[in-house]
Structure 1
Amino acid sequence: MTPNKRTPRKAEVAQDQCVACGCCVKVCPLGAISVFRGIQAVVNREKCVGCGKCAAECPASVIRIREVTA
């Protein structure tokens, strides 16, 4: 029997709707999100593990957790 592998997930920010409040930055346990030039949140996809804490905290609801396809 093969082990059950989860599809990798990553956070994705709707750049045109982000208000750059920084709430996501504060809750990310791996420091995978930063606010770029005070304008928008940017996700470092190498660090992101798709835990969803940022999406749950975002007051503008512009962060989604998406499955990563090859």
Structure 2
Amino acid sequence: MSTRAGMYKGGKDGAVLVPGDPSKSLMVKAIRHEGQNGSPKPMPEKSKLSDGDIGTIERWIRAGAIMPVDIPKP
């Protein structure tokens, strides 16, 4: 999640972020604490975002997840 390209590419479990589709974005599953069954490191419940904050992120993703383009490091 350190770069825009990295979030779009994702990893073995899929894309962290799918602009326009929060339901396919692993980021949303993670912040909703809907990880895979048997996950070795479940998210602690006390660190869960509020429903309002989760809704804000879902609306941002639905709107296209606009963010700055990655800037190459010198």
Q: Normalising by the residue count of structure 2, what TM-score does the alignment of the two structures yield?
A: 0.24
Higher relative CO (CA 8 A, sep ≥ 6), structure 1 or 2? 1
Q: Which has the higher strand share?
A: 1
Q: Which has the higher helix share?
A: 2
